[in-house]
Amino acid sequence: MSHVLTVDLTTREVTVEDTASHSGYPTMTLEEMSAAILVPLMNADFNRTIVQRGVDLTDLACLPISTGWYGKVEENRRLIKVQCYSAKDTVNFYMRPIEGLTVLVDLDTRQVLEISDKGGSIPIPKAANTDYRYSAQKPNQVLKLLKPISIEQPNGPSFTVEDDHLVKWANWEFHLKPDARAGVIVSRAKVRDPNTGEFRDVMYKGFTSELFVPYMDPTDAWYFKTYMDAGEYGFGLQAMPLDPLNDCPRNAYYMDGVFAAADGTPYVRSNMVCVFESYAGDIAWRHTECPITGMQIREVRPKVTLVVRMAASVANYDYIIDWEFQTDGLIRVKVGLSGILMVKGTSYENVNQVSSPENLHGTLLSENVIGVIHDHYVTFHLDMDVDGSDNSFLKVNLQRVQNSPNESPRKSYLKATKTVAKTEKDAQVKLKLYDPSEFHVINPTKRTRVGNPVGYKLVPGGTAASLLDLDDPPQKRGAFTNNQIWVTSYNRSEQWAGGLLVCQSQGEDTLAVWSDRDRPIENKDIVLWYTLGFHHVPCQEDFPIMPTVSSSFDLKPVNFFESNPILRTPPNVETDLPVCVAAASA
Ligand SMILES: *[C@@H]1O[C@H](CO)[C@@H](O)[C@H](O)[C@H]1NC(C)=O
Ligand SMILES: *[C@@H]1O[C@H](CO)[C@@H](O)[C@H](O)[C@H]1NC(C)=O
């Protein structure tokens, strides 16, 4: 049973103890995960099986894999499934699965409950070419494609970080907090209005609320792989120190996370978040005048942004999360996927041996290695406060209007129709390319000079939707991905889209359940939720480690400013820029 205690820090007393209301269990601690993967070794049958598979017990590398929830077996005790790999001759043990072997372990009693071995005939893929370390590459094969590159800031950075959490840059101000579960929390984001000089509220709090990563293989050793990384593993707990010069550029500022160990002792995760100014050679705005006008006009402004970055390594996978602030008021949230695939061992060495390749559940990436098809969903909690806490959600739907023959030479045009969502169900949105809408969070009581309500719009980028059956147990737990956009009435107990207690949860405390209460959301303190999705059909380039794939969405001002807020920013001129001298010319 899970106990949710509320502690009064002043009186040091437990004020609320709630044991009744949840099916799930809290985030696993790192200590529990470390202990769980050693449990199978206490079982003689397990040891025998490993030796029979030709693996030396000293070469074993095991992973704690969340079980999900599939009914009675997962009830009333905390469980984990352990699967193992051979780390012989490679650090990339993920590419050498001992396929089909799953050990069900009780996390509390640390006992083996069940061993399932259905992969006895499947060879362990070879170690050759799996190591991804630079030091393991042959020196004569290293590809030095580029000359060194770095950004110079001759007068230092333009941002400051006060009290280790208040970031001030250009026209922005926001708080930053590393968090064990969410990774990074950006809060109280305000942008300065160029006309009044006042800071204006944009977002009260934004963070990665939950992830959902279902694999698409229904067989015994794979069906349960439907991770919810924030609630099960702790997205922040899994964020390792960033690598200066490679994860973040030279001009970056680093921030540590301070988390609690299993026994409550605080520990420091150093360099967990970085903040830096980015200049990618992009353009903030421009116009040149054509010679036919007789005007010699060329006005261009370079784009510099401020990036807040963290990278979580949830076992094999790496997630890079960027919050990027632009001076024109836009916030871009970017998710990058890299790291190592979770692969399946197979006896196939070539596609020509496979009679029905569509039944492989993935792609043959190398001899005896299948990259299994899977999805990634990253759900963001975006508590918008556009010029104050009471906001509304406005859909601006574009529809074709058909002209009658003598009305216009045109047969058709598009018209924008605005609807304010009255209740939560009105704001459950599935994205549609042929029925497009803009999604605005507006402050209905604040208007611009010409009378438009001030707002910020959510602009989705490339994304994916879950196609699983709504009654499939993982999709019930991951029901917060049933829509790409939701808007809920603010409730401090509703922060985690998959529920407060996610391990083995049954889906009774998800964003989908809260939204179905259909509370009023017009001119109220509302929370916008957006899910960024990826379908991943692995390909050979993902072996042995994946080049980063990314996608993003924007929070963009819409009638928030009276006019272009960066009109009056100056262009670059040669004298502003450093005269760099190469240390040694080529
Ligand atoms: C299994 O092997 C490990 C590693 O050699 C050893 O420490 C452990 O005692 C063995 N377990 C049993 C039950 O024999
Ligand atoms: C706030 O959220 C909790 C958890 O979902 C729920 O039990 C409670 O009824 C909610 N309160 C309101 C006013 O919606």
Rounded to an integer, what distance in angstroms lies between the CA atom of residue 527 and that of residue 15? 27
Going by their DSSP bridges, the two strands 546-558 and 453-460 should be labelled as: antiparallel
pLDDT of residue 380: 98
Question: Which ligand 2 atom is at minimum distance from the Cα of 509?
Answer: 5
Q: Where are the domains of the chain?
A: 3-129, 168-343+372-576
Distance, CA of 586 to CA of 582 (rounded, Å): 9
What is the DSSP track for 354-383? -S-GGGGSEEEEETTEEEE-EEEEEEEEEE
Residue 584 pLDDT class (50, 70, 90 cuts): low
| pLDDT of res. 586 | 43
535-571 tens-digit pLDDT: 999 999 999 999 999 999 999 999 999 999 999 999 9
Give backbone dihedrals phi and psi of 79, rounded to 5 degrees, phi first: -125, 160
Residues designated catalytic: 229, 317
Q: Are 194 and 171 in contact (CB under 8 A)?
A: yes
Q: What is the model's pLDDT at position 343?
A: 98
Please say if the pLDDT value at position 90 is more than 70.
Answer: yes
Mean pLDDT of the chain: 95
CA–CA dist 84, 156 (Å, integer):
48
- Indicate if ligand 2 lies below 6 Å from the C-beta of 491: yes
pLDDT band at 580 (very low <50, low <70, confident <90, very high): low
The mean per-residue pLDDT over the stretch 464-469 comes to 98
Q: Which two tokens stand for residue 218?
A: 């229904």
The answer for residues whose C-beta is within 8 angstroms of residue 4's C-beta and 6 or more apart is 16, 17, 18, 19, 21, 22, 500, 501
Q: Are 434 and 529 in contact (CB under 8 A)?
A: no
Question: What atom in ligand 2 is closest to the CA of residue 489?
Answer: 14
User: 220 and 118 in contact (C-beta within 8 Å)?
Assistant: yes
CA-wise closest residue to 22 among 44, 8, 4: 4
Contact status, residue 479 vs residue 513, Cβ threshold 8 Å: yes
State residue 583's pLDDT score.
Answer: 59
Whole-angstrom distance, CA of residue 488 vs CA of residue 439: 14
Residues 348-407 pLDDT 10s: 999 999 999 888 999 999 999 999 999 999 999 999 999 999 999 999 999 999 999 899
Q: Is 494 in the pocket of ligand 2 (CB under 6 A)?
A: yes
Distance CA 451, CA 559 (A): 9
- Cα separation of 216 and 464, whole Å? 15
Q: How much distance in Å is there from the Cα of 299 to the middle of ligand 2?
A: 53
> pLDDT tens digits for 326-351?
999 999 999 999 999 999 999 999 99
d(CA 157, CA 250): 11
Q: Which of 474, 377, 375 is closest to 69 using CA atoms? A: 474
Whole-number pLDDT of residue 212: 98
Least Cα distance to 533 among 457, 402, 425, 431 occurs for 431
CA of 401 to the centre of ligand 2 (A): 42
* C-alpha 510 to ligand 2 mean position (Å): 12
Furthest-apart CA pair in the chain: how many Å? 88
The CA-based dihedral angle spanning residues 151, 152, 156, 160, taken in that order and rounded to the nearest 10 degrees: -10
Closest-lying ligand 1 atom to the alpha carbon of residue 46: 1
Res. 581: pLDDT tops 90: no
Per CATH, is 168-343+372-576 categorized as 2.70.98.20?
Answer: yes
Distance from CA of residue 512 to its chain's centroid?
A: 19
pLDDT value of position 80: 97
Which residues does residue 258 pair with via DSSP β-bridges, in sequence order?
Answer: 268
Dist CA 63 CA 86 (whole Å): 12
Chain segment 351-362, per-residue pLDDT in tens: 999 999 888 999
Residue 469 has pLDDT above 50, yes or no: yes
Q: What are the angstrom distances between the C-alpha of 52 and each of 122, 244, 584?
A: 12, 44, 58
pLDDT tens by residue, 496-506: 999 999 999 99
Residue appearing with tokens 């054509």: 290
Query: Distance between CA 89 and CA 93 in Å, rounded?
Result: 9
Give the mean pLDDT of 407-434: 97
Q: How would DSSP label each residue in 199-245?
A: EEEEEEEEEEEEEEEEBS--STTTTT-EE-HHHHH-TTTTBPPP-BT
3-state secondary structure of 449: coil
The matching CATH number, chosen from 2.60.40.1120, 3.10.450.40, 1.10.10.10, 2.60.40.420, for 3-129 is: 3.10.450.40
User: Any residues with Cβ below 6 Å from ligand 1, and which?
Assistant: 41-44, 47, 57
Residue 45 Cα to ligand 1 middle (Å): 10
Residue 426: phi, psi to the nearest 5? Answer: -65, -15
Q: Alpha-carbon dihedral of residues 419, 424, 430, 431, nearest 10 degrees?
A: 50
Cis peptide before 557 (omega within 30 of 0): no
pTM score, two decimals?
0.96
Q: Is the CB of 493 under 6 A from ligand 2?
A: yes
First to last CA, the chain: 67
The two three-digit tokens of residue 132, written as one number: 């991804």
Supply the pLDDT for residue 582.
60
Residues 9-65 have pLDDT tens digits of 999 999 888 887 678 999 999 999 999 999 999 999 999 999 999 999 999 999 999
pLDDT at 577: 81
pLDDT in tens, 121-178: 999 999 999 999 999 999 898 899 999 888 888 889 999 999 999 999 999 999 999 9
| Ligand 1 pocket, mutate which of 37, 38, 41, 56 (most atoms under 8 A from CB) | 41
Give the residue, by CA position, lying nearest to ligand 2 atom 4.
Answer: 493
Strand ranges inside 279-389, DSSP E: 283-288, 298-302, 305-314, 317-326, 331-339, 343-345, 362-366, 369-372, 374-384
Say whether pLDDT at 579 is over 80: no
How far is it, in rounded angstroms, from Cα 83 to Cα 66? 11
Residue 354's CB is within 10 A of a number of other CB atoms, namely 14
Please, are residues 503 and 458 in contact by the beta-carbon 8 Å criterion? no
User: How would DSSP label each residue in 469-480?
Assistant: -TTSHHHHHTGG
